[in-house]
Amino acid sequence: MSEDNLFTRVRKTVGNMRPGHPWVSMDNIDLLKSAGMYLKDQSTGKQGITLAGILIFGSELMIQTALPHYRTDAILRRENLDRYDDRDDIRVNLLFH
């Protein structure tokens, strides 16, 4: 899923939950800024996406570039709480999977 499709999905979800929410009409950068995921670095003066923004909205390549060792180990326990029933190694953004 592309980043634009992900932003569209987020806008739709937010709009369904809260009609008239400002995110529905914002462009991608303004949405990130309003969520505190696109900030200005006070030491360099440069603006850019935060680590939180990368983990939530970033592509797999962007995430691997920023955090080469990133992965979420998702474990599902249904029956026996000492052992897991299913396990997934997730290396994509937190909204995609």
Q: Where are the domains of the chain?
A: 3-90
Report mean pLDDT in 10-residue bins for the chain, 97 residues.
82 95 96 96 95 91 90 77 74 72
Q: What pLDDT does 17 receive? A: 96
Q: What pLDDT does 96 receive? A: 66
pTM of the model: 0.73
Q: What is the DSSP string of 15-77?
A: HHHSTT-GGGGS-HHHHHHHTT-EEE-TTT--EEE-HHHHHHH--HHHHHHH-TT--EEEEE-
Q: What pLDDT does 5 receive? A: 87
